[in-house]
């Protein structure tokens, strides 16, 4: 009989990104272990740029499943993190802003330090658990992410169990609560940071056109550093200006770059 990949037999961090996939992973862990084992911790790292619906979803998972979820945020201080909760969590990108202020440059498709610093390292410092003791919510139908995460020693129980997107979708369709973010063509546009520079250009532009105020923080970051998040795209301010003219700007078929923040 093969080993249950969700069964925990030592100190383990269940990294909960705030999306449907990682929440499903957490649920499977709870089912396999009869709850959260005493030497395990479920952890959510808030960048301050998640949609409010994501924060509500993390809170609701904890309440509905009776599981404590540790909320962590990056801090530019000696500890490197702070513990928060739903009420006190940052909502205007404060942890992200603190990181770019410290670095004095912006993350980009080549140097994606935001995910590592705001999530990976913040969680490690808060829990004391390393990569090989951390579960992350990646499915078996996400090949672009799997190999690199394996190289880092992370545990991928959904991959080991052969879980794909239809299985995750079916679970949430039958569940009593869900993440209050719509899917478009199987993609949750507002998953992870609201206007992450790794999102597909048409997806990003659609979000800006729908609500231009979403781009204010991102534009201010580019102005602060006097640079752009991507050299192959217009600035966020330019995208807002173009969106106001109600015209298409990007090829709708251009795909996003795989992000390691989770789903």
pLDDT in tens, the chain (263 residues): 578 999 999 999 999 999 999 999 999 999 999 999 999 999 999 999 999 999 999 999 999 999 999 999 999 999 999 999 999 999 999 999 999 999 999 999 999 999 999 999 999 999 999 999 999 999 999 988 898 899 999 999 999 999 999 999 999 999 999 999 887 766 777 788 999 999 888 888 889 988 999 999 999 999 999 999 999 999 999 999 888 776 554 445 555 445 556 55
Do both 175 and 227 map to the same domain? no
Q: Residue 73 in 3-state DSSP? A: strand
Do both 69 and 197 map to the same domain? no
Which one, of 140, 135, 257, lies nearest residue 192 by Cα? 257
Do both 213 and 165 map to the same domain? no
Give the range of the structural domain holding residue 229, as residue numbers without chain letter: 187-243
Do both 110 and 197 map to the same domain? no
Q: Which residue has the tokens 């961090």?
A: 13
pLDDT at 259: 53
* 250 inside domain: no
pLDDT at 44: 98
pLDDT at 125: 97
- H-helix or E-strand spanning residue 98: helix 94-103
* 38 inside domain: yes
SS3 of 163-202: the string is CCHHHHHHHHHCCCCCCCCCEECCEECCCCECCCCCCCHH
Do both 54 and 111 map to the same domain? yes
d(CA 229, CA 247): 22
Do both 123 and 158 map to the same domain? yes
Q: Which tokens is 110 given?
A: 């080549």
d(CA 94, CA 74): 9
Question: Contact at 8 Å (CB) between 186 and 30?
Answer: no
Do both 168 and 204 map to the same domain? no
Q: Which tokens is 136 given?
A: 């992350």
Question: Contact at 8 Å (CB) between 157 and 6?
Answer: yes
What's the structural domain count of the chain?
Answer: 2
Question: What is the DSSP secondary structure assignment for residue 155, as one 8-state letter?
Answer: B
Instruction: Please give the angle made by the CA atoms of 17, 35 and 165, to the nearest 5 degrees.
Output: 40
* 205 inside domain: yes
Give the domain CATH number at 144.
3.40.50.620
Q: Which tokens is 95 given?
A: 């942890």
Do both 144 and 212 map to the same domain? no
* 127 inside domain: yes
* 122 inside domain: yes
- H-helix or E-strand spanning residue 13: strand 12-15
* 4 inside domain: no
Do both 143 and 16 map to the same domain? yes
10 Å CB burial of residue 185 (0-12, 13-18, 19+) is exposed
Do both 22 and 147 map to the same domain? yes
Instruction: Please give the angle made by the CA atoms of 222, 223 and 228, to the nearest 5 degrees.
Output: 30
What b-and-e string marks burial along 58-74, b requiring 16 or more CB atoms within 10 Å of the CB? Answer: bbbbbeebebebbbbbb
* 218 inside domain: yes
Question: Contact at 8 Å (CB) between 11 and 52?
Answer: no
Do both 146 and 227 map to the same domain? no
pLDDT at 2: 79
Do both 147 and 213 map to the same domain? no
Q: Which tokens is 88 given?
A: 């006190």
* 254 inside domain: no
Q: Cα separations (Å) of 53 from 19, 149, 193? A: 10, 27, 12
């Amino acid at each position: 009989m093969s080993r249950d990949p969700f069964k925990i037999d030592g100190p383990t961090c269940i990294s909960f990104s705030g999306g449907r996939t990682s929440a499903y992973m957490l649920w499977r862990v709870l089912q396999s272990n009869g709850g959260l084992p005493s030497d395990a911790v479920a952890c959510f790292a808030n960048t301050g740029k998640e949609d409010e619906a994501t924060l509500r979803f993390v809170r609701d998972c904890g309440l509905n499943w009776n599981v404590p979820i540790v909320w962590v945020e990056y801090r530019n201080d000696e500890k490197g993190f702070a513990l928060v909760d739903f009420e006190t969590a940052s909502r205007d990108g404060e942890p992200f802003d603190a990181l770019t202020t410290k670095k004095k440059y912006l993350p980009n498709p080549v140097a994606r330090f935001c995910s590592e610093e705001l999530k990976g390292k913040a969680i490690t410092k808060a829990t004391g658990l390393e990569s090989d003791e951390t579960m992350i919510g990646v499915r078996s139908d996400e090949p672009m992410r799997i190999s690199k995460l394996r190289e880092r020693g992370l545990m991928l129980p959904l991959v080991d169990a052969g879980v794909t997107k239809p299985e995750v979708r079916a679970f949430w369709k039958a569940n009593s609560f869900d993440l209050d973010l719509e899917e478009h063509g199987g993609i949750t546009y507002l998953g992870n940071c609201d206007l992450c520079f790794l999102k597909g250009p048409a997806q990003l532009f659609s979000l800006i056109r729908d609500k231009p105020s979403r781009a204010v923080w991102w534009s201010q970051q580019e102005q602060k550093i006097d640079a752009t998040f991507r050299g192959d795209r217009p600035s966020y301010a330019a995208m807002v200006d173009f969106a106001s003219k109600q015209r298409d700007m990007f090829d709708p078929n251009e795909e996003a770059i795989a992000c390691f923040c989770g789903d």
